[in-house]
Amino acid sequence: MARRVTIADIAAAAGVSKGAVSYALNGRPGVSESTRAKILAIAGEMGFVPNRAARSLSVSSAQAVGIALRRTARTLGIEPYFMELISGIEATLSAGSFGLTLQVVDTVEEELEVYRRWWAERRVDGVFLCDIGVGDQRLDFVADLGLPAVAVGGPVEGARLPAVWHDDAEPCREIMEYLYALGHRRVARVAGLSRLLHTTIRDAAYAETTAVLDFESMTTLHSDYTGEEGARITRRLLSSAKRPTAIIYDNDVMAVAGLGVAHELGLDVPEQLSIVAWDDSPLCRLTHPALTSLTRDITAYGSNCAEVLLTLIGAEAPSTEARTFSVQCRPAQLSPRGSTGPAFA
Amino acid sequence: MARRVTIADIAAAAGVSKGAVSYALNGRPGVSESTRAKILAIAGEMGFVPNRAARSLSVSSAQAVGIALRRTARTLGIEPYFMELISGIEATLSAGSFGLTLQVVDTVEEELEVYRRWWAERRVDGVFLCDIGVGDQRLDFVADLGLPAVAVGGPVEGARLPAVWHDDAEPCREIMEYLYALGHRRVARVAGLSRLLHTTIRDAAYAETTAVLDFESMTTLHSDYTGEEGARITRRLLSSAKRPTAIIYDNDVMAVAGLGVAHELGLDVPEQLSIVAWDDSPLCRLTHPALTSLTRDITAYGSNCAEVLLTLIGAEAPSTEARTFSVQCRPAQLSPRGSTGPAFA
DNA sequence: CTGAAAGCGCTTACAG
DNA sequence: CTGAAAGCGCTTACAG
């Protein structure tokens, strides 16, 4: 509860001005090496830690970035993606002694309002935009605001902000060729929300592949990533006359739910049904059989995003150059496990 | 990018002093109703939002609280608990226009250091302490620091800070009686980390019950909550000569992994093995059969914790009175599903 | 009820 | 190399 020590205390103890203390502490020229050393020593033994608010007010930077999540508590909990992403972001951020401010929102409007407020308050120096949609209005909104932001997903054509993304097309082709090689000809896909950018990218990639390889059928049904929907759609797919011999899920939660439905219907996996999941979280190794999946390192992805945002904030580059910060990550790799096998249909 | 509007701008536009603007904006006496209305109108149309740093510096409060998570990215991702808790916390916080600062740490030492720094910097006004351990050193540490904190878990005897917790003993009795009634006599439990407070509380509760009901055996094996460990321990349990007919898991991730192992060994659930999980996340309904579990509303729990912390921060009450803020939540309820049934061993 | 001023704890030109 | 001062944008006693 003791009063906090300020630069004034250090200045008094060292017999110098507050300005000198500031220069010494921030490693800037303006003080001799000997005074700097003395000041540093005193600051150290007094346990000095600069007050954030005062610093922020002076330099007009929050030393923090924000992330707004537009998902329900349930989805956020069950979907390992977000926490892994946040962990990665956070690791890079705290290394740069930046804070992460998090807010959960219900609607886009609310999300935009949060950005406006955060920026007006200077509570954050930048934000991460998750779940990039097709024609996402947030992109222009934050750009107009002048709020530094990075798109966690992409690529975002003509956007005025950097993006960090994975090529989703290549893995789609990889899965399809793999399933084809295993003899599967009737494949189905339980896709994600069709308003999301990566969903449309995958949609297109699968369509391309089926145009090349002669699959008998390739049904795509869109869903909302929840286990309930994943199960419902799987039930429908497996109840059809010519049921698919393989199903691809756009996330792991739905894939696990799909496996549950297969068990429920008495179908052996992979004997009678092969299952492929996207986003290989530990969830995929919890089940029996373990799920074949498309592996990406989401935590590393988060770190990447944070690096780009920090660069963007630190840079004086005009926003038009910001695009050059965009980074494309290594595409997801196929990790074959027990849930896929030859088709015997 | 336009310059932010400050109270000075509003004062100039309204023809009053900055002080008057501040009073008007904060709903404090010191201005007539007519001036207040005029100021509010002008502030509104100028889109005024107060600068956080300036406000924080003046009132010496951060308008933010922090949460440090000492878990790996993988655990944080797979365990729905944390994101659900955070969502709940966040909902209450943002209603009070408080921010949430999050940091992931590796060790206790690092965690304590984060608290020290956050508080010295006045980056937060208080913190949440998760994963309360037996004789948890963090409790005294934050109290000594004078950093307002609430223990997310408990009860913490003689602690100098409020706690929000569930009674774990009652649900343990409930499960045991339920399993007993189903005819199970050989039960096993895959428990959580034994250094955690709630693990010891459950340990004791199960021990008490087995002293009353005549179970043939009640094996308890401690683990680390990961699916790998859950699977490994389950494999060991089910390979023993007199294998248990029911297994209770201290979290849902291990329970799902356990179900996977049962499938792997060709054991039918619940015909040959009953499974009970703690912390009923959507994960428990993803599997087939769905998992019987102990249901708690973690999101509501998070909200509760946030309310207590906000009260604590707002209150001028001496820390010794803080304990009266402690709240005990409704204990977990048993939700019977397909994974439990009569014992036929 | 209102205005002018000091202060929160930093940073940063500006003189010596 | 060093010191004294102004300023960041608020809040809050203190006089009128």
Q: What is the mean pLDDT of chain B?
A: 92
User: CB of A16 under 7 A from strand D?
Assistant: yes
Separation of alpha carbons A244 and A237, rounded Å? 7
Residues of chain A with pLDDT under 50: 1, 315-323
Has residue B74 got a pLDDT over 90?
no
Q: What is the pTM of this model?
A: 0.93
Domain boundaries along the sequence of chain B: 7-50, 64-166+299-329, 169-295
How many angstroms separate the CA of residue B261 from the nearest CA in chain A? 7
Of A72, A66, A52, A64, nearest in space to A114 by CA: A66
* CB atoms closer than 10 angstroms to residue B305: 28
Of A52, A78, A84, the CB nearest to B283: A78
Bridge-based pairing state of the strands B163-166 and B149-152: parallel
- Residue B54 near residue B65, CB atoms below 8 Å: no
pLDDT tens-place string over residues B92-119 = 999 888 999 999 999 999 999 999 999 9
- For A85-183, strand residue ranges (E) read 99-104, 127-129, 149-152, 163-166
For residue B210, give the 3-state DSSP assignment.
helix
Q: Which residues of B touch A257 (CB under 8 A)?
A: 286
* pLDDT for res A2: 53
Instruction: Say which CATH class A7-50 falls into.
Output: mainly alpha
Alpha-helical regions (H) of B240-340: 252-264, 298-314
The token duo for A286 is: 């919890």
Phi first, then psi, for residue A18 (nearest 5°) are: -60, -35
Separation between Cα atoms, residue B308 and residue B325, nearest integer Å:
6
B53 vs A: CB within 8 A:
yes
B184 pLDDT more than 90:
yes
Mean pLDDT in residue range B30-35: 86
pLDDT at B319: 46
Q: Give residue numbers, 20 to 49 of B, with CB < 7 Å from strand D.
A: 21-23, 25-26, 28, 30, 48
Q: How far is CA A11 from CA A7, A24, A37, A48, B117, in A?
A: 6, 11, 13, 12, 21
* Cβ within 8 Å, pair A90-B74: no
Q: What is the pLDDT of residues A5-40, one digit of tens each?
A: 899 889 989 989 888 999 999 888 888 888 899 999
Q: How many C-beta neighbours within 10 Å does residue A155 have?
A: 17
Contacts of A231 in chain B (CB under 8 A): 286
C1’ C6 / CA A23, Å: 26
Token pair listed for B56:
């924080």
Contact residues on chain A for B91, CB-CB shorter than 8 A: 73, 104
**CATH domain B64-166+299-329 topology:** Rossmann fold (3.40.50)
Q: At the topology level of CATH, where does B169-295 sit?
A: Rossmann fold (3.40.50)
pLDDT value at residue A169 = 95
- Structure confidence by residue, pLDDT tens digits, A187-207: 999 999 999 999 999 999 999
pLDDT band at residue B316 using 50, 70 and 90 as cut-offs: very low
Is the CB of A77 less than 7 A from some atom of nucleic acid strand D?
Answer: no
Contacts of residue B283 in chain A, CB cutoff 8 Å? 78, 227
* Three-class SS state of B10: helix
Fold matches, A7-50 and A169-295:
no
Tokens of B164: 């929000």
> In this predicted structure, what is the pLDDT of residue A345?
54
Give the nearest chain A residue to B231 (CA atoms): A286
